[in-house]
């Protein structure tokens, strides 16, 4: 029929389908690359190492502090073997030799000012005059003595390390000492057999310039003239030192 404009069966469908198919099968977008995130194992390992090292350092520091505190004393009775004697302040100044009750002496009459033995971390190689040493004890010094016949050179070096560069301390040999080592402060004494005994340091750390156990706190412990020309045990009294040196009461 001339007026029948209906497309032949299938053509329209094919075209329509073709168009639809073309649209449906057009270019597709490329699939984006998927990047797998990697864990920074190297950084994690380094952080763990640093943390372990820091913990080890902290633990070591705590152990050191605990050890130091374990050896620290707060009263004389915490140091085994310490003997105490009653020597009040205001002892006489004398030019004569003194027959002390204790050996080495720990108090009593002593050399007049300014002839105290230098006690600024001083290591003497002679048996210093006892009367001058006692004056230093009055000023708060700790006096470490040893029997030169009973200790070795290594022992003396060990004792010297406790004295050198320590204000308020001095070391000297002491002839006839009944123990290898004896440590003195004013009114207190400790005798020992070994230079490595930790009680020596405990005694020195506690009593050195301790105001509570010092008749003249703040008095000078310096006398460079005595270092240069020390008086020795048994020697006659002599003025050694500068009168300009400060002293609380002499």
Coil/strand/helix, residue 190: strand
Each residue's pLDDT tens digit, 173-230? 999 999 999 999 999 999 999 999 999 999 999 999 999 999 999 999 999 999 999 9
Asked if 218 contacts 80 with a C-beta cutoff of 8 angstroms, the reply is no
- Encoded tokens for 204: 């020195």
What's the fold here for domain 82-228?
Glutaredoxin (3.40.30)
Sort 80 into a burial class: Cβ within 10 Å, 0-12 / 13-18 / 19+.
Answer: exposed
Burial class (CB in 10 A: 0-12, 13-18, 19+), 213: middle
pLDDT of residue 70: 66
Residue 210, C-beta contacts closer than 8 angstroms, at least 6 positions apart? 140, 185
Strands 169-173 and 122-123, how do they pair? parallel
Domain-wise residue ranges, the chain = 82-228
Q: Which residues of the chain have pLDDT under 50?
A: 1-3, 5-7, 10-22, 65-66, 243-249
The residues that bridge with 190 in the sheet, in sequence order, are: 183
The reported pLDDT for the residue numbered 29 is 66
DSSP 97-136: ----SSSS--SSSBPPTT-PPP-SSEE-SS-B-HHHHHHH
Q: What is the token pair recorded at 134?
A: 């006692």
End-to-end CA distance of the chain: 150
């Amino acid at each position: 029929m001339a007026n029948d404009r209906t497309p032949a069966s299938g053509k329209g469908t094919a075209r329509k389908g073709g168009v639809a198919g073309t649209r449906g099968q057009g270019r597709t977008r490329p699939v984006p690359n998927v990047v797998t995130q990697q864990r920074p194992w190297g950084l994690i390992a380094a952080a763990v190492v640093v943390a372990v090292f820091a913990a080890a350092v902290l633990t070591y520091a705590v152990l050191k502090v605990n050890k130091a505190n374990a050896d620290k004393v707060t009263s004389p009775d915490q140091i085994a073997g310490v003997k105490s004697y009653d020597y009040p302040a205001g002892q006489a100044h004398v030019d004569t030799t003194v027959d002390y009750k204790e050996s080495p002496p720990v108090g009593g009459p002593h050399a007049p000012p300014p002839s105290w033995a230098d006690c600024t971390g001083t290591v003497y190689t002679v048996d210093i005059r006892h009367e001058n040493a006692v004056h230093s004890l009055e000023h708060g010094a700790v006096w470490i003595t040893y029997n030169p016949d009973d200790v070795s050179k290594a022992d003396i070096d060990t004792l010297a390390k406790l004295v050198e560069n320590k204000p308020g301390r001095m070391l000297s040999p002491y002839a006839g000492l009944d123990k290898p080592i004896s440590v003195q402060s004013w009114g207190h004494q400790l005798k020992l057999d070994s230079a490595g005994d930790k009680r020596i340091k405990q005694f020195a750390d506690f009593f050195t310039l301790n105001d509570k156990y010092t008749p003249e706190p703040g008095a000078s412990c310096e006398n460079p003239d005595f270092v240069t020309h020390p008086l020795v045990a048994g020697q006659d009294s002599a003025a050694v030192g500068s009168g300009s040196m400060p002293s609380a009461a002499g």
